[in-house]
Amino acid sequence: MFCRYFCFFSLWLFLPTQRRCSLGHVSNLGGSDTTSLPGFENLTVGYNKYLRPYFGGEPVQIAMSLDIASISSISESDMDYTATIYLRQRWTDPRLVFHGNKSFTLDARLVELLWVPDTYIVESKRSFLHDVTVGNRLIRLFSNGTILYALRITTTVACNMDLSKYPMDTQTCKLQLESWGYDENDVIFTWLRGNDSVHGIERLRLSQYTVERYYTLVSKSQQETGSYPRLILQFELRRNILYFILETYVPSTLLVMLSWVSFWITLDSVPARTCIGVTTVLSMTTLMIGSRSSLSKTNCFIKAIDVYLGICFSFIFGALVEYAVAHYSSSQKCTAKTPQEELTMQQSRRETRRGLICGRREKSKPAIQCIRPVGQ
């Protein structure tokens, strides 16, 4: 009798646990009937995660969408940008078709048991998947076998920039997604809804740029090993000029105007004119060095701001040279005399010398006449 009750109690505890832990069943919190998932029942038996859906047949269509969470930095010196994105991929795996509920959100760790596309970011320098507090991945399974796979990624991507018009420039950067190993015979990349597949760009607020426009493209990458599908998000960034007007253009213009003040100072005021000229030259040199410090790795390029500052420096340096030339010419005019002026000056000197001699003689005569013998 005791053994019978013990067996009954054990079965009562074991069966609900077995039902909850089965990968092939999902319990409904409302107490409704359990839905069977044949795909999950065969994960360890019939499902091969190393083979893509429709293996040996038609290619798998993978529809993608992007949500740009932020663009944290755009570096002209390194020619790259850093962005945090939500990448969502959808494809259909007929091996995971089930009947019942519309969709299930599964534990992200189950992605290790499924086939997923080998998508990577082209020209990425550094990338990582966020893992606080858990790995930021989402996997959702629909009844028709469609899988939604979402990732939160931060990546630093190269962006070739043309800085010839800096800081009045507009840069075009790309975010390119491509299949690493599967060529176009195995997978096909498409945007989920064209340009509407990208969200979040219109909400971006950047310190030096404004996103003017963006558009999506579908392309292929021809390589030695085959032709690989590629999706491209291309966006244009227009630089905000106000910062550079206040930081560079206005100070350089004022320095040029200050150097021209010396033209209203007389040539005799040597310290004043020299001080203004030297001070403006040194200030302009400091301004030029500061404008190029943020672009230290791109100094081999001649930029629009370099041309402007070079012209300003030429005006300031020219004002200093002008004073030196004017002062030298004035001193030469004072020392240079004509022959007639030289002859007149020599005659004046001789007459002055004769007058001095005669005056001395006249002054000495009375003294001589006063000296006479006593007897006379």
What is the CATH classification number for the domain harbouring 234? 2.70.170.10
As a whole-number percent, the residues of the chain with pLDDT over 70 amount to 76
31 falls in which pLDDT band (50, 70, 90)? very low
Q: Residue 10: inside a domain, yes or no?
A: no
Whose tokens are 């005799």? That residue is 268
Residue 295 is part of a domain; what is its CATH number?
1.20.58.390
87 falls in which pLDDT band (50, 70, 90)? very high
Dihedral over alpha carbons 302, 305, 309, 311 (to 10 degrees): 70
Q: Does 146 score more than 60 pLDDT?
A: yes
Judge if 203 and 301 occupy the same domain: no
How many domains does the chain fold into? 2
Q: What is the pTM of this model?
A: 0.72
As a whole-number percent, the residues of the chain with pLDDT over 90 amount to 47
Question: Do the Cβ atoms of 91 and 117 come closer than 8 Å?
Answer: yes
Reported as a single tens digit per residue, the pLDDT across 248-260 is 999 999 999 999 9
Q: Does 24 score more than 50 pLDDT?
A: no
Question: Do the Cβ atoms of 139 and 94 come closer than 8 Å?
Answer: no
**Domain span at residue 67?**
24-240
Q: Residue 375: inside a domain, yes or no?
A: no
Q: Residue 322: inside a domain, yes or no?
A: yes
Judge if 252 and 233 occupy the same domain: no
Q: Residue 13: inside a domain, yes or no?
A: no
Judge if 143 and 234 occupy the same domain: yes
Judge if 192 and 267 occupy the same domain: no
184 falls in which pLDDT band (50, 70, 90)? very high
Q: Which of 240, 263, 285 is the last residue of a domain?
A: 240
Strand pairing partners for 89? 64, 149
| Rounded CA separation 184/64 (Å) | 16
Q: Which of 240, 267, 294 is the last residue of a domain?
A: 240
Q: Which of 315, 335, 355 is the last residue of a domain?
A: 335
Judge if 233 and 247 occupy the same domain: no
| Rounded CA separation 307/165 (Å) | 10
Q: Residue 36: inside a domain, yes or no?
A: yes
Buried b (16+ CB within 10 A) or exposed e, 319-336: bbebbeeeeeeeeeeeee
Q: Residue 67: inside a domain, yes or no?
A: yes
Judge if 184 and 247 occupy the same domain: no
374 falls in which pLDDT band (50, 70, 90)? very low
Q: HSE of 43 in the Cβ direction (CA atoms, 13 Å)?
A: 13
Residue 35's nearest CA partner among 99, 90, 86 is: 99
| Rounded CA separation 282/280 (Å) | 6
Reported as a single tens digit per residue, the pLDDT across 221-270 is 999 989 999 999 999 999 999 989 999 999 999 999 999 988 888 877 88
Q: What is the pLDDT of residue 336?
A: 57
Question: Do the Cβ atoms of 156 and 90 come closer than 8 Å?
Answer: no
Judge if 124 and 194 occupy the same domain: yes
